[in-house]
Amino acid sequence: MKKQDNKLTVFADEIKIIQINGKPYVSTQELAKRMEIEHKAVVNSINKHADYFQEHGVSPVFKIRAKSKTGQEKEALLSEDQAYLLLTLSRNTDQAVKLKSDLIKVFSILRQKHELFVEKHAKLEYQQNREIGKLHRRNLMDELKPFAEYAKSQGSKGFAFIYINITKLINSVCGVKSIDEADEQQLAKISTAHDITLKIVQQGMKDNTSYKTIKTLINAELKQYSVLIGGNCG
């Protein structure tokens, strides 16, 4: 397996597949070799039916691959659909039929591997986001405990629900039902909303501001933040 920048060469069932930005391609030289025909015949077929090949992706561009005693060797990279089109236009020799069957298996295997990679990546991202969400939740809860006691000391009867109510407000502002369901972008918004909230709380307690005024300031600031990020808080 060889890797260079965003280009990856893999061998599946001994067929050379080149992946560029995650998309698989097969070279015209590889196809010609496996059909046991001259590469020139492949070039002629593609040029003759160029419009059809363009319908199935970027029009194949032949580039110099190497120099040999007979001159310059050129090749083009074909997408999966373009490779099947070329084989459809070719004679149904035993080699062409076998190659078509092999390509179907190879491209299918690559798709399955790609889907598995995407699925694993999504699960990993979900788990990471949940852990980040739990950390945000614990930090906010710890930071708001002094405020709950502060509100209690001023006669608040609902001091025990301060964390819950502020959390609901922040989730609404950031467009999520629960922090556990937040994606990476939403977690960033929630983190900023937490910072806004805690800054108001800490400054308010330092200035001995009434807890009711602090709650009003939190609501006002988060509503402004909601407008800024296009959230749901009206």
- Number of structural domains the chain divides into: 2
3 has a pLDDT exceeding 50: no
Quick one: 76 and 134 in the same domain?
no
Same domain for 87 and 151? no
d(CA 175, CA 233): 8
The DSSP string of 109-170 is HHHHHHHHHHHHHHHHHHHHHHHHHHHHHHHHHHHHHHHHHHHHHTT-S-GGGHHHHHHHHH
Residues 121-148 have a mean pLDDT of 83
Say yes or no to pLDDT of 63 above 70.
Answer: yes
Angle at 63 between CA 13 and CA 39, to 5 degrees: 55
Query: pLDDT exceeding 90 applies to what percent of the chain?
Result: 38
Domain termination site, one of 74, 91, 108: 91
Same domain, 132 and 225: yes
In a domain, 234, yes or no: no
Mean pLDDT, the chain, as a whole number?
84
Least confident of 23-27, 53-57, 124-128: 124-128
Is 63 within the bounds of a domain?
Answer: yes
pLDDT in tens, 5-45: 455 555 555 788 888 877 889 999 999 999 999 999 998 99
How far, in Å, CA of 126 to CA of 124, rounded? Answer: 5
The mean pLDDT value for 62-84 works out to 75
In a domain, 96, yes or no: no
131 & 225 share domain: yes
CA angle 179/175/136 to nearest 5° reads 25
In angstroms, rounded to a whole number, what is the distance separating the alpha carbons of residues 111 and 105? 10
The predicted model gives 211-226 an average pLDDT of 94
Which residues span the domain enclosing 214?
A: 127-229
Is the pTM of the predicted complex or chain greater than 0.85?
Answer: no
Predicted pLDDT at 4: 44
For residue 205, is it within any domain? yes
- Which of 43, 66, 91 is the endpoint of a domain? 91
Domain co-membership, 48 together with 133 = no
Q: Does residue 11 sit in the same domain as residue 84?
A: yes
Mean pLDDT of all residues in 69-92:
84
Give 62's pLDDT tier (boundaries 50, 70, 90).
confident
Q: Within a domain: residue 105?
A: no
The answer to whether residue 113 sits within a structural domain is no
Task: Kindly state whether residue 97 falls inside one of the protein's structural domains.
Answer: no
Give the span between the Cα atoms of 165 and 174, in whole angstroms: 14
Is 37 a member of any domain? yes
Whole-number pLDDT of residue 123: 77
Do residues 78 and 25 both lie within one domain?
yes
The answer to whether residue 147 scores a pLDDT higher than 90 is yes
Among 91, 112, 139, give the residue marking a domain's end: 91
Are 75 and 147 members of one domain?
no
